[in-house]
Amino acid sequence: MSSKCKGAAITPPALSENTSIRALIDEHFGAYNAARLREAAQLWARRMAEPEVTVGLTLTGALTPAGLGPSCLVPLVKRGLVDFIISTGANLYHDAHFALGLNLHRSSPHADDCQLRADGLVRIYDIVMDYEVLLKTDAFFRKIMEAPEFDRPMGSAEFHFLAGRYLAERQRLLGLGEVSLLAACAEMGVPVFTSSPGDSSIGMNAAAMALKGSNFAWDVNRDVNETAALIHLAKAGGGKTGVVILGGGSPKNFMLQTEPHLQEVLFIKDKGHDFFLQVTDARPDTGGLSGATPSEAVSWGKVDPEGLPNTVVCYTDTTIALPLLTAYLLETRGGREPKRLYTRREEAMELLLREATLD
């Protein structure tokens, strides 16, 4: 019997105790958002993990407090599958707890917050920590910012690289293993940017240091130019770029605005990012950037119109999707040669200056 159906038949085998992550996703995620997660995993593993693709990752939502740093993000960075990161400052602040040996604990979203306050506990939905965790982490950041290398304006990538080296040494001395994302990024040369550096406890402590006379300040203009320069460096070298957006918010825009900055402001010819993968629970019909679709991004020059077939949006919780995506990548790709873009930032900026039209 002939059929006009083009998609594969939905005929999954029975699950068993021997089913691998790869088989689970490839064979059993057949429809709805499970299918979008399958498409996302396959897009990243089969296309975006190729050596010529520069992958930028964005982080929003309380991902590191949930333990996704050591479980997922550190392995992705260590295996060269992520080339640079744009994150909320909060995720990077909470990442530091792990390297400092400060524990977070499982709890309940229905906990009595008045009682938690009386007990000196702080809640992130169903995670709790002692208030002392915040005070000790604050003290760590203020202490390292007293070091001479921090006593000047700098971009957020440089700040996080320097902080990551301190965190790497702390986790080593405590015998904790590789638990810090910032430490892993410093080791692997993965630049980490924050789109709103004042909007976190790290930013609050930096502001307190300014009251004490510190010369440290965030160079946000450098961050805007540097992220765009890394994209241009990749494209100018004949490569492609892909974005993995976990959540939405300011980091999503900061990542995607690299292309309008190149095309609209600096008058450097380009067509937009080649690959787009987003995990989100935001709806597109409210008009917010978090839920904006890759096809809408085409109209801004953020995504290459020819790349629309290489875009996936999966509507689910990142804490569900990221462990599955990570396990799938490690099983199917293993890893690739790291690009170590942190050491190429000056090269990228010089290229940007040569080719930009600034009149």
Q: What is the pLDDT of residue 336?
A: 97
Whether residue 12 is contained in a domain is answered as no
Contact in structure between 214 and 107 (CB atoms under 8 Å):
no
- Whether 2 shows a pLDDT value over 70: the answer reads no
Segment 232-259 shows an average pLDDT of 97
- Under a CB-based contact definition with an 8 Å cutoff, are residues 305 and 272 in contact? yes
Answer yes or no: are the C-beta atoms of 200 and 90 closer than 8 Å: yes
β-pairing, 275-280 vs 311-315, is: parallel
pLDDT mean over 216-231? 98
Residue 37 in any domain: the answer is yes
Residues 6+ apart with CB under 8 A from 162: 144, 149, 150, 186
Is the predicted pLDDT of residue 152 greater than 60, yes or no? yes
Report the first-to-last Cα separation within the chain, whole angstroms.
Answer: 66
Indicate whether 74 belongs to any domain: yes
The whole model's pTM is what?
0.96
Sheet of 121-124, strands arranged across: 105-106, 127-130, 121-124
Three-state DSSP state, 149: helix
Q: Give the domain range for residue 266.
A: 21-89+155-170+181-198+218-355
Q: Is 146 within a domain?
A: no
**Distance separating alpha carbons of residues 44 and 322, to the nearest angstrom:** 12
- Give Dmax (Cα) for the chain: 80
Quick check: 28 and 37 in contact, CB under 8 A? no
Backbone dihedral angles phi then psi of residue 358, each to the nearest 5 degrees: -105, 5
Does residue 2 form part of some domain?
no
Residue 60 lies in a domain: yes
Beta-carbon neighbour count of residue 309 at 10 Å?
7
- pLDDT, average across residues 220-232: 98
Answer left, alpha or beta for residue 29, where phi above 0 means left and psi between -120 and 50 means alpha: beta
pLDDT in tens, 97-136: 999 999 999 999 999 999 999 999 999 999 999 999 999 9
- When pLDDT is averaged across residues 3-11 and rounded to a whole number, the result is 85
CATH number at residue 323: 3.40.910.10
Structure tokens at 213: 């006379």
Over residues 14-24, mean pLDDT: 96
| 13 is a domain residue | no
> Which of 37, 26, 170 shows the shortest CA–CA distance to 96?
170
Listing DSSP states for 169-180 in one string gives HHHHHTT--S--
Nearest to 59 by CA among 49, 69, 51, 50: 69
- Does residue 102 lie within any of the structural domains? no
Provide, rounded to the nearest whole percent, the portion of the chain with pLDDT above 90. Answer: 95
Confidence at residue 7, expressed as pLDDT on a 0 to 100 scale: 84
Q: For residue 12, how many other CB atoms are within 10 A of its CB? A: 13
pLDDT exceeds 80 at position 1 = no
User: What 3-state class would DSSP assign to 232?
Assistant: helix
Please state, in angstroms and rounded to a whole number, the distance separating the CA atoms of residues 204 and 211.
11
Q: pLDDT, tens digit, for every residue of 159-202?
A: 999 999 999 999 999 999 999 999 999 999 999 999 999 999 99
- The SS3 of residue 241 is strand
**Rounded Cα distance, 241 and 189, in Å:** 18
pLDDT score at 6: 83
> pLDDT digit string (tens) for 36-79?
999 999 999 999 999 999 999 999 999 999 999 999 999 999 99
Number of domains present in the structure of the chain = 1
Calculate mean pLDDT across residues 28-42: 97
- Model confidence at 270: pLDDT above 70: yes
| CA 309 vs CA 9, 50, 52, 277, 295: distances in Å | 21, 17, 19, 11, 10
**Mean pLDDT calculated for residue range 295-305:** 93
